[in-house]
Structure 1
Amino acid sequence: MSTDVNNSAPLQASEGQPLEERGNNRSQRPESDAFKDFMGSKWAPRTAQARAKAEVAAHAARRRRAISEKFRGERLVIPAGPLKVRSNDTDYRFRPHSGFAHLTGLGLDHEPEAVLVLEPTAEGTGDDGGHHHATLYFRPLSGRDTPEFYANARYGEFWIGPRPTLPELNQLLDLDTADLSELEVAITKGAGVVSVGGMRIRLLREVDMNVDALVDTSRINTGVDLEESDKLDALLAEALSELRLLKDEWEIEEIKKAVAATINGFHEVVKVLPRAITHDRGERVVEGAFFARAREEGNDLGYDTIAAAGNNATILHWIRNNGRVNAGDLLLLDAGVEADSLYTADVTRTLPVNGSFTEIQRKIYQAVLDAADAGFAAAQPGAKFRDVHTAAVTVLAERLDEWGVLPVPLEEALSEHGQHHRRWMPHGTSHHLGLDVHDCAQAKRELYLDGILTEGMVFTIEPGLYFKNEDLAVPEEYRGIGIRIEDDILMTAAGPVNLSAALPRKPDEVESWMAGIYSPTGE
């Protein structure tokens, strides 16, 4: 990786040099005025990029209006978050906080350090006749006559390519934009104790430490109670999370795109299974095949891929993916493509590596499939979210009882004081899905677990059974088998729709599908 421009300037003594500056010791960038003047000149003028308003802009505006209704008269601060360091001075690819993305419509890697501020207005004078006026503060593309252009490896166009200008994002999002340098005044002006005429600030905390510090300093300087403010901030995070419980039509289409790309990724995995079998780290072959599809069709992975073969499939969040993939084993692949809009899929299939289930594998697989189907049948408009889990795990408990695995009678196992079956199905059956793979995580319990299934919700159904090699409570023939089946479900007025149904689920269909794409050479 390039680090800087070559130079023959004399080395400077580093005695007393602060540690934070020593990362530049490798730098050989010229510092002469002649170099700086030359770097800032003789560039063709930029062509103004007219941006058509994004389709998502109108949807994002409605979301801002909805959050505005909940917090009239208060300044709302929603950061995107900064770049995150991977190691030393190299960063991860940027992904904005999901609450920020939801209210702005920005996807891809837009825009590090940006902050959305909803400023309260007189009743009826805000955006779309609402109660707030929204402004997006961000670091705009610098001029080519500035040092940032060629000397800033994080933001400079010479290093990372062009970034948007203020007018470009204004046109794209139909949202007022301002330079990030104006943010401090925008956040702190008039802020203070409400009872003496100050403006209350609510902040989406723990997204950007610099913004947290700015708001906290303002609160301290104006005598605002920090403990009470933390509670108020938490209510904003809760509201932003609950706003995502019901997806609009644009969001649903984006999730469908992510699911379609994910199914293509599973197809690619089956193609490389013969090569995976011959590789010492065959799980990495699987992981790599899916990741390639995620980057080709989407923005990234929605989460780290679980490519777990053999006994590794009994480890719920196995992401080391450094094990072998042996013929005769099962491969549990839990993976999802994140679309450019940042909406993700989350799909799991358990595949027979050699294309055919053994008798015991099929028996356990069918039990998990029956549980998934029971969860799907329970997922009807008006039912509670928790009912899906209850239906699925009841089937699993019944199968475990039939196999003689439960150490107590079925009724006792299913009772609140029993739950013995959960040894082999320790996770929940469902979670909401959207911008986050585990979406809406800050929503109140009564709206999530005890919430009513409603049109527009998107969630998973993912029962499983996991029999570890070391588990002496199950017959030896079950040990080392882990199976999960996961689908992405859209709730409509007519009932649930399986968005990932195009990926085979029934054992015979899985075998037939694999036979149609299984390449002897793995190519």
Structure 2
Amino acid sequence: MSTTADSTASATAQQSTGQNRRQPFPQGFLDTISTGWAARPETLPGQHAQAPYAAARRARLSAQFAGLRLVIPAGDAKQRSNDTDYPFRAHSAFSHLTGWGADSEPGSVLVFEPTASGHEATLYFRERADRTTEEFYGDASVGEFWIGPRPPLAAVAAQLGLPTAHIDTYEDHDGQLVAGEDAALTRAVSELRLVKDEYEIAQMRAAVAVTADGFDDIVRELPAIVAHPKGERVVEGVFHRRARSDGNWEGYDTIAAAGPHACYLHWTRNDGAVVDGDLILIDAGAELDSLYTADITRTIPVSGTFTDIQRKIYETVREAADAAFAAATPGVTFRSVHEAAMAVIARRTAEWGLLPVTADEALDADAGGQHRRYMVHGTSHHLGIDVHDCAQARREMYYDGLLEPGMVFTIEPGLYFQIDDETVPTEFRGIGVRIEDDILVTADGVENLSAALPRTADEVEGWVARLRG
């Protein structure tokens, strides 16, 4: 076959990709599809409660980049398989600066145009097409016949208090800074979220409340969970039901880790059995329509009662968490919270004879770390519109930064003794425990936003006895 023939065949194959299962539209359909529709009333919505907070965030960002054009993309839908996409979630910086959460449109862009007095922000997105257009019925990705109503420019402008324009009018410029591509802008939009405003704090409280209800649901369903051969997956499903019914989605993949699986820090396969006598470590967070998420972990005895060794390990983790709570006060470094928890972990594992050195030697910053075998992760991370919020912030603003009122972060020490770890006694092996709470820094200390969920071993046993039935 000639080169020309090869090219023609290739082009024909590409053109037919995604089209070979579609039926053609008859002329009668084309002649009538755009008629016979009732008038669509257009009532502009009221301004969203987050709008003034988002405007203040934009002003703070503007002040850092005088004279520069800033571009904050929402991102595009991500392919799951063939012509199926994952549910769309806008980039966190985009949602934080616009106030547009779960309803945001793929492909949207927030642009800061420099002016003499700062910047003028405009939100560009693909407005809905009316019923006279081919897109309405012919485009399964955005057509309203396929996916339902899409927002008009005027409605979004009214809701967000932000000028809007059709994405077709957006133009790239040389020299503009794009979040995700420019390091300085990416860092700035991340650091902007280190201290939460009143709206964000209220959203965090609400996300924690939904998450707590989801944990209660799981405990109530324990008999059905134990009865299923993939009980971990039932745990995941029970929490998903609550996250979707009372929120938008989960803020991250739920960890439902029973027995030895609890020793794998990010166990999300969730395909194991949940057995009486074992512990189950559940790390889950509900994300609201605003995209703010909780992040809570509880480790629960499936039968309702800890064994002696399980209780010993559990209460040691709680002791480490309590030490971190005590250390977390305004003005101290973020890393000091971790250091307080690790001092407990080092002391207890040394007392149990698990370390080849003393606790003090293990805590040596340069030569130590032996205790970290049993807790390799950090004790805390910032939390908000991302589960690991502010992740692009500078080290001096994050790990070495000072705690300020309005910061929200986790406290989550753990101990993990893997099933094949010969450095620990046999009775320790296969036990993993983590306790994670969501913390708000206040003017005079910290508030545990997730305090409604039981924390002590006695409280957890009472919780299971009350709800499992």
TM above 0.5, one fold? yes
C-alpha separation in 1, matches of 2:206 and 2:11: 55
Give me the whole-angstrom Cα distance separating, in 2, the residues matched to 1:57 and 1:421: 47
Q: Map 1:313-324; keep pairs closer than 5 Å.
A: 313-324=262-273
Q: Distance in 2 between matches of 1:488 and 1:250?
A: 17
CA drift at 1:37: 2.4
Please show how residues 163-312 of structure 1 align to structure 2 within 5 Å: 163-184=150-171, 187-188=172-173, 191=174, 200-205=175-180, 233-312=182-261
Q: Is the 8 A contact 1:96 1:109 kept in 2?
A: no
Output the CA distance in 1 between the equivalents of 2:30 and 2:108.
28
Counterpart position of 2:440? 490
Deviation of residue 263 (structure 1)? 0.2
The CA deviation at 1:19 is: 2.5
| C-alpha distance 16-255 of structure 1, shift in aligned 2 (>3 A) | same
Give the secondary-structure state (helix, strand or coil) at the position aligned to 2:400: coil
Alpha-carbon distance in structure 2 between the residues aligned to 1:424 and 1:14: 59
| Counterpart residue type for residue 182 of structure 1 | T
Given the alignment, which residue of 104, 119, 122 partners 1:110?
Answer: 104
Q: Offset at 1:54?
A: 0.5
Q: Secondary structure at the match of 1:331?
A: strand
Q: Does the residue aligned with 2:20 lie in a helix, a strand or coil?
A: helix
Q: Distance in 2 between matches of 1:52 and 1:371?
A: 47
- Per-residue CA deviation, residues 76-100 of structure 1 (Å, 9 max, x unaligned), is 0000001111111011111000000
Matched position secondary structure for 2:140: coil
Which residue matches 1:149?
136
Match of 1:425 among 365, 371, 375: 375
Structure 2 residue runs of 5 or longer lacking an equivalent are 1-7
Is the contact between residue 78 and residue 116 of structure 1 (CA under 8 Å) also seen in structure 2?
yes
Letter in 2 for 1:158: F
**Alignment-mate amino acid for residue 99 of structure 2:** G
Structure 2 residue corresponding to 1:24, chosen from 19, 27, 48: 19
Pairing 1:26-41 to 2, within 5 Å after superposition: 26-30=21-25, 32-41=26-35
Letter in 2 for 1:82: D
Query: Structure 1 pair 15/408, CA: closer, same or farther in 2 (3 Å)?
Result: closer
TM-superposed deviation, 1:50: 1.8
Secondary structure of the 1:25 match is coil
**AA of the residue aligned to 1:280:** P
Q: CA deviation at 1:402?
A: 1.2
Instruction: Tell me the CA shift for residue 105 of structure 1.
Output: 0.2
1:114-129 aligned at under 5 Å gives the runs 114-123=108-117
Q: Separation in 2 of the partners of 1:172 and 1:111?
A: 14
Cα distance in 2, alignment partners of residues 163 and 340 from structure 1: 17
- The answer as to 2:328 corresponding to 1:379 is yes
Q: Is residue 118–residue 132 contact of structure 1 (8 Å, CA) maintained in 2?
A: yes
Aligned to 1:6: none
Out of 73, 78, 81, the position equivalent to 1:87 is 81
User: What is the TM-score of this pair, normalised by structure 1?
Assistant: 0.87
TM-score, normalising length: structure 2 = 0.97
Letter in 2 for 1:328: G
SS at match of 1:259: helix
How big is the shift at 1:20? 5.7
Contact residue 93 and residue 109 of structure 1 kept, 8 A? no
Secondary structure, aligned partner of 2:294: coil
2: distance between equivalents of 1:461 and 1:22? 50
| Aligned position for 2:145 | 158
Cα distance in 2 for residues equivalent to 1:156 and 1:339: 26
Deviations 1:269-293 (A, max 9, x none): 0111111111110100111000100
1:412 to partner: Cα distance: 1.4
Superposed CA deviations along residues 424-451 of structure 1, whole A, max 9, x for unmatched, are 0000000000010000000000000000
- Among 50, 53, 68, the residue aligned to 2:47: 53
Q: Is the 8 A contact 1:57 1:173 kept in 2?
A: yes
Q: Note the C-alpha offset of 1:418.
A: 1.4
| 1:26-76 residue CA offsets vs partner (Å, 9 max, x unmatched) | 11141x443222111111111103200001000000000000000000100
Aligned partner of 2:86: which letter? Y
- Contiguous gaps of at least 5 residues in structure 1: 1-12, 124-130, 192-199, 206-229
For 1:345-370, what per-residue CA distance to the aligned partner results, in whole angstroms no more than 9, with x for missing partners? 00000000011101000000000000
Name the residue aligned to 1:415: 364
Q: Which amino acid aligns with 1:143?
A: D
Residue in 2 aligned with 1:366? 315
Q: 1:331 aligns with which of 276, 280, 288?
A: 280
Paired position in structure 2 for 1:227:
none
Alpha-carbon distance, 1:311 to partner? 0.1
Give me the whole-angstrom Cα distance separating, in 2, the residues matched to 1:39 and 1:67: 46
Q: What is the number of equivalent residue pairs in this alignment?
A: 461
Alignment of 1:462-481 (within 5 A): 462-481=412-431
SS in 1 for 2:239: helix
Partner of 2:70: 76
Q: How many Å separate the matches in 2 of 1:322 and 1:115?
A: 39
User: Secondary structure of the residue that 2:379 maps to in structure 1?
Assistant: coil
Name the counterpart of 2:127. 140
Q: Pick 1 or 2: higher relative contact order, CA cutoff 8 A, min separation 6.
A: 2
Deviation string 1:222-244 (CA, Å, 9 cap, x unpaired) is xxxxxxxx6xx110000000000
Matches of 2:380 and 2:399, distance apart in 1: 9
Q: Is the 8 A contact 1:94 1:109 kept in 2?
A: no
Stretch of structure 1 that moved more, 36-45 or 456-465 = 36-45
Instruction: Tell me which amino acid in the other structure corresponds to 1:165.
Output: P
